[in-house]
């Protein structure tokens, strides 16, 4: 639809000029259509396209300067990722397509709600969608007040992301609490997860996804030869112990024992934070070695881990069960597909 010659009153009965939420790229307004439906209208800030291009140039200068001054710190991966992802995040039609794809892909999960897109009221800089309300996933008071089971939410969130990462290879990479809402469904009264902001997704290469699945299976059960083998296959090289610790946010002692067998302690968290500061050059080297598709997964893992920490469900046995099931599904499908291809070549 062309909006240039329309007034707000031509499209909406009401439009709340005070945004429901605002971020660096856009802000969201609540509005009501003439047919009575309530919608959320995401509007890109006027100068963000031009400003983002300037930001990339500044970032490139800074990254090169840091590398020149401190050769051990190589952050070109950060610049490359920003150049790749920024245009996608600024294209709201791409965000709408991502939302529809993940909604269809995970439609069997009744607990998941993805707002429907109003394509006739959307452009590259304006996205109009179904308005949905809920509390942020880290709002324990809201969940208690509304009778929402914290453990159920944590299990469902882990199950949903395990399927996205290990089985489907199409991953929503910005699950911070503002993008993950919870509520009681108005119709069924069941707990629901509302997934918002679909601008940043990572598509995983199938062979990468299967090696990543095999690595997690080894990490869960403490199979150290397997941890080394698949960490090396994913580009970590001789930094595979550091890679395992970064990936799991667990100590090397816990990784050796199997992360599903050792509970997370405050002492271990302090150890991880301390070592992160000590090994910054090695971490920088590692981030330059690993495949680029791993970088957004590391960010996603950290955001999900933060939610679990708030909900006090981190390292719960149920999360490892769901993760293992999805990893096994991914490996089994890959193995079966490979056997079928070999059988076809042999004329079987």
Q: Does residue 94 form part of some domain?
A: no
Residues 218 and 274 in one domain: yes
Bridge-based pairing state of the strands 26-33 and 21-22 = antiparallel
Residues 268 and 327 in one domain: yes
Q: How far apart are CA 209 and CA 204, in angstroms?
A: 6
Residues 144 and 250 in one domain: yes
What is the mean pLDDT of the segment spanning 160-179?
A: 96
Residues 227 and 316 in one domain: yes
Q: What percent of the chain has pLDDT over 70?
A: 93
Residues 206 and 325 in one domain: yes
Q: Is 141 a catalytic residue?
A: no
Residues 144 and 242 in one domain: yes
The beta strand positions in the chain, using DSSP E, are 12-15, 21-22, 26-33, 38-44, 112-113, 126-130, 135-136, 170-172, 180-184, 191-195, 201-203
> Quick check: 329 and 214 in contact, CB under 8 A?
no
Q: b/e map of 98-118 (b: 16 or more CB within 10 Å)?
A: bbeebbeebeeeebbbbbbbb
> Quick check: 49 and 89 in contact, CB under 8 A?
no
**pLDDT on residue 229:** 97
Report the domain count for the chain: 2
pLDDT in tens, 288-298: 899 999 999 99
What is the mean pLDDT of the segment spanning 205-218?
A: 96
pLDDT in tens, 45-74: 888 877 777 777 777 777 777 767 777 666
Tokens found for residue 73: 């710190």
Q: Does residue 37 form part of some domain?
A: no
Structural domain span for residue 170: 135-338
Question: What pTM was estimated for this model as a whole?
Answer: 0.89
Active site residue: 149, 174, 197, 205, which one?
174
Q: Does residue 6 form part of some domain?
A: no
Residues 179 and 273 in one domain: yes
């Amino acid at each position: 639809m062309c909006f240039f010659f329309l007034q707000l009153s031509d499209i909406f009965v009401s439009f709340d000029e005070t945004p429901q939420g605002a971020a660096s790229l856009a802000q969201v307004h609540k509005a009501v259509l003439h047919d009575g439906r309530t919608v959320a209208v995401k509007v890109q800030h006027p100068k963000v396209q031009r400003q983002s291009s300037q930001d990339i140039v500044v970032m490139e200068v800074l990254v090169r300067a840091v590398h020149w001054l401190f050769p051990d710190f190589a952050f070109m991966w950060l610049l490359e990722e920003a150049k790749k992802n920024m245009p996608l995040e600024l294209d709201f039609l791409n965000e709408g397509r991502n939302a529809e794809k993940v909604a269809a892909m995970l439609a069997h999960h009744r607990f998941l709600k993805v707002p429907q897109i109003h394509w006739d009221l959307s452009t590259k800089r304006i996205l109009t969608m179904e308005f949905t309300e809920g509390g942020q996933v880290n709002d324990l008071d809201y969940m208690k007040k509304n009778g929402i089971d914290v453990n159920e939410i944590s299990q469902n969130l882990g199950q949903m992301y395990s399927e996205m990462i290990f089985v489907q290879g199409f991953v929503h990479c910005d699950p911070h609490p503002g993008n993950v809402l919870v509520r009681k469904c108005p119709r069924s009264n069941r707990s629901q997860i509302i997934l918002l902001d679909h601008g940043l997704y990572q598509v995983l290469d199938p062979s990468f996804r299967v090696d990543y699945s095999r690595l997690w299976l080894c990490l869960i059960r403490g199979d150290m030869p397997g941890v080394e083998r698949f960490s090396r296959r994913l580009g970590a090289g001789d930094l595979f112990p550091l890679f395992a610790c970064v990936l799991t946010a667990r100590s090397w002692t816990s990784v050796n024992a199997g992360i599903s067998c050792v509970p997370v302690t405050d002492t271990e968290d302090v150890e991880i934070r301390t070592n992160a500061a000590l090994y910054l050059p090695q971490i920088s080297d590692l981030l330059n070695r690993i495949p680029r598709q791993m970088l957004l997964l590391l960010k996603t893992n950290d955001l999900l881990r933060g939610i679990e920490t708030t909900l006090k469900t981190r390292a719960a046995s149920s999360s490892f069960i769901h993760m293992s099931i999805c990893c096994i599904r991914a490996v089994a499908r890959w193995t079966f597909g490979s056997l079928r291809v070999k059988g076809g070549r042999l004329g079987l």
